[in-house]
Amino acid sequence: MSRPRTPAGAKPRNAARGGRLSGHPAEIMQRINVSIDLDKRLYAQDIAGSLAHCAMLVARRIISPEDGEAIARGLEKIRAEIEAGKFPFRVEHEDIHLNIETRLGELIGPAAGRLHTARSRNDQVAADFRLWVRDAIDHLDRQVTLLQAALIDQAGAHAATVMPGFTHLQTAQPVTFGHHLLAYVEMLGRDRSRLADCRKRLNECPLGAGALAGTSFPIDREKTAKALAFDNPSANSLDAVSERDFALEFLACCAICGMHLSRFAEEIVLWLSAPFGFIRLSDAYTTGSSMMPQKRNPDAAELVRAKTGRFLGAFASLLTVMKGLPLAYSKDMQEDKVPVFEAADTLELCLAATTGMVGDISVDKAAMRRAAETGYSTATDLADWLTRNLGLPFREAHHVTGALVKRAEELGTTLADLPLKEMQRIEPRITAAAREILTVEKSVASRTSLGGTAPALVAAAAKTARARFLGGKKEAKPK
C-alpha cells in the first residue's frame, strides 16, 4: 500500500492537535512539549498494549478482523524497525505513542485510525508505564539476586574468618567476615521483597479507562488485562489515568536498595584504607592517582556511595510533580518518566558494580584478626563468664569487667594477657579458666544463639540463604 503524502511545504499532521487546533505550535512549545527522545524507551510496552487492545476490539466486533489483522501486522513491522534501528522517530509527533500511530498510518493507511477506538493517550501511557516499571522490577530482581549470590559465595568461604565487629565505628565484639556479609544478603532480600510488593500493587491494567471517564464502547477490560498479564483491570477510571503512586513506590524501593549499596560501598572504602587493610581489590575496580604513584583508589565503591543522591532526588522530584495535581490527568505527569528511568538505570549500574567488587575482593585474614584483637573486644565474653560461673548479676559483672579493662590499659596489655593476680585483685574468685575464653576465636565460637556469628552457624546460614534466595543454586545466572 502506498504511503499518504504530505503536501509540499506543509508540516506533517499531528494527530494530538486534532481538528480543533488548526495552527502549528510555537517552536518553544514544541521543545517543551516533546518527549520522544525519552519515552521511546516505552516502544515495546506501547506495541504490546496496542496489540492487546486491537485483539480485544476485534473480539468485541468493534473493529473488523481485516482491520485488526492489518493493525497487528503493521505493529509487528514497527517493532522490527525499531529493534533494527531503522524507525524514523520524529519530534513533530511528540511522543512514542504518536510516532507509532503515525508510522502505522503510513504502513496500512486509514485502518490505523481504528486502533485508537475506545482508547485515550491517558490510559495508553498509564498502561505502558506500568508495563515498563513491571519489566524494570523483574530485571532489577535478577540483578539483586546476582549480588546476593556473590555475597553468599564470599560468606561461605569466610564463615570462620575473624574480624572486628563495630558499633559507633568502635571495636565492639569479634564477628566473622562471612557473618558480616550475610547481613547485606538479608538487606537485599528485603529490597527484593519490597520490589515484589510494588510489582503486585502496580499490576492493574488502566486500558479502558479512556481519558478519565471510561468509554461507551462495549469493551472487555478483563480480556485486555489478561493479555498483558495484569492481575485485573483498574477499578476506577479516574484513578487509573491520574495516579503515579506505583512509580513513587518503585523510586522508594530504589532509594532504599541504593542506600544499602551505599553502606556496603562505604565499608569497602574503609576496609581498603591503610589503617584497616582488611581487603584488596584488583585494578579492575580501582584507579590510580594523577599525582601520587602509590595510590589505589576505590573509585567504583565511592561512585556507588555517591549515586544514592540520585535515588533520593528522583523520589523527591516525582513526589513534587504529583503533590498538587487535581484529578485526572495533567501534562505535568509527562515528567514522571525522567526520574524513574534514571533511577532504574542507576540502580542497575550500582548493582553490577557492587557485584563485580564482591567477587573481586581478596581478604587479608591476618589483618582482620589483628584488628579483632584490639579494643578489648572480648570484654563482653569476660562479663558473661563472671555471670555464668560466679553468679554475678550482669550489671555487676559489667562493672567488674570495666575495672579489669582499665587495669589492662594501665599495664599496656590485653585482657587475655592480664596476669591472673591482677584480675584477682579486682575480683578474687576469678580463676585461670576465665582467661581461656578471651581469644577472638573462642569469642566467635561461643555466639551460638540463632543468627549469631559462630562459624558453624555462619556456614549453615550461607547454605540456608542460598536456598532461600537462590533456589539452592551455586550462583544465579542472568536470564
- Residue 325 CA, chain-centre distance (Å), reads 28
- In the residue annotation, 158 being an active-site residue is answered as no
Strands 232-233 and 204-205: parallel
In contact, 272 and 279? CB cutoff 8 Å: yes
* All three cell numbers of 224: 485486555
Residue matched to cell numbers 543522591: 309
Q: What is the spatial distance between Cα 334 and Cα 252, in angstroms, rounded to a whole number? A: 19
Q: What is the spatial distance between Cα 29 and Cα 26, in angstroms, rounded to a whole number? A: 5
In contact, 146 and 478? CB cutoff 8 Å: yes
Tally the C-alpha atoms within 13 A of residue 302's C-alpha that lie toward its C-beta: 10
The runs of H, that is alpha helices, within 84-165 are 96-108, 121-157
Length of the chain, in residues? 479
What sign for the dihedral angle of Cα 358, 360, 365, 366? negative
> Nearest-CA neighbor of 135 among 71, 42, 56, 59?
42
Q: What is the spatial distance between Cα 155 and Cα 153, in angstroms, rounded to a whole number? A: 5
Q: What is the spatial distance between Cα 23 and Cα 21, in angstroms, rounded to a whole number? A: 6
Q: What is the spatial distance between Cα 190 and Cα 211, in angstroms, rounded to a whole number? A: 37
Distances 17 to 98, 123, 265 between C-alpha atoms, Å: 11, 18, 50
In contact, 439 and 381? CB cutoff 8 Å: no
Query: For 16, which DSSP code?
Result: T
* All three cell numbers of 278: 582488611
Bond from prior residue into 328 cis (ω within 30 degrees of 0): yes
At 223, is the secondary structure helix, strand, or coil?
helix
Active-site residue among 168, 216, 290, 449?
A: 168
In terms of phi and psi (left: phi > 0; alpha: psi -120 to 50; beta: otherwise), the region of 34 is beta
At 396, is the secondary structure helix, strand, or coil?
helix
In contact, 38 and 338? CB cutoff 8 Å: yes
- In the residue annotation, 398 being an active-site residue is answered as no
Active-site residue among 64, 273, 282, 289?
A: 289
In contact, 262 and 304? CB cutoff 8 Å: yes
> Nearest-CA neighbor of 120 among 322, 338, 334, 329?
329
Distances 458 to 24, 161, 181, 183, 447 between C-alpha atoms, Å: 68, 10, 10, 11, 10
Q: Which amino acid is at 14?
A: N
Active site residues: 168, 289
